[in-house]
Structure 1
Amino acid sequence: MLRRALIPLLLLAGCTATPGVDMGGVDMGGGGGIGDPLIAAATSAPSTFGNMGQYQGNPAGAARAIVQLEFLTNAYQTDPIWAPQANPIMVEQLQQAQAEMRQTLGIAQAAPAQNVVDALNAAAQQISAGNIQGAQLALSAPGFTLGGAETLRRLGNMQSTTLTSVAAAAVNQAAMMPNQGMGNRPFGGGMRRR
């Protein structure tokens, strides 16, 4: 009897959003994750942050891409479903890419991911609204060591890097291939092998 009562609860638990960093409504790749924001973010990683040079002159786009990188790095370390089955090499690649982006933008390595995500989301929204001063203010949040103007300049002058490219490819492969970091869950890395 107890098993029957637990089954709906377990199914409901599988439908909840990934805990950890709240992405503030950022689109994580539009539907590619079949309802799971981590899968959506992982499958779209190569086109989102695999080539940061694509954001030359587009600081709002760069900020959103780094939000996605922060989300994935945090989720693979803290999510109770994904962290235990994450490939440790892939997690290390995400951490290295995150550290590189934070160094590039003058964000303290110890800054909480949620603070970084909130500041970058706010900056992207302000840039999109044409409010450069608001974006600079958002990028002056605690942990942003260069000040808003310099951080915004750097967001608009992103370069492609090997670390972000490798991390994006690794997380995408894990999402697409069974048993490579996400494949032990239905719709998480393809069909289950029998």
Structure 2
Amino acid sequence: MDKPISRFNVPALDDLPDDIRERILAVQDKAGFVPNVFWALAHRPDEFRAFFAYHDALMEKPSGLTKGEREMIVVATSGINQCQYCVVAHGAILRIREGNPLIADQIAVNYRKADITPRQRAMLDFAVQVSNAAHMVGPEDHARMAEHGFSDEDIWDIGAIAAFFALSNRMANLTSMRPNDEFYLMGRMPRDSEA
């Protein structure tokens, strides 16, 4: 690639600790490429480990939220936080998780006009509030979420994902993290009806 993926030094694969090198190679085997967030955060191995441990705890566990809904939270809050990396990368994942080539762009630009359910809109309203004005969250917000069928654990998950990706958005902007070219086309074409 002719453009840097981070403003900071990106270590060579052979220079990384074994556990980080193994994680990067596993991601490459699964995805066919290494998302640049792995390279950029490998600049600081201890922070890499902490970041991905929390990411996995939030995004990969069983939850009252679907994996697609968790990606909706990432894309909506990242759009509001003007994080190009997370909108592009997680937009690709959202398109794939939902099998919908339109949804990520709709949510990134203005989730309030996206083709989502009222429950999902309430989820994103809450996530955006946590991301940008968490000090304003009060009992009425929790009550509104409960009216849409969200449990206390779901509310925690929504808030934690929004808060974690607020950190991620800020680090991506700090480092000038560049999205991989591969992300732009992922999930853009509708799935084959025969598949």
- TM superposition score category, shorter chain reference: under 0.3
TM superposition score normalised by structure 1: 0.28
Q: Identify, as 1 or 2, the structure richer in helix.
A: 2
The structure whose RCO (Cα within 8 Å, separation 6+) is larger is 2
TM superposition score normalised by structure 2: 0.28
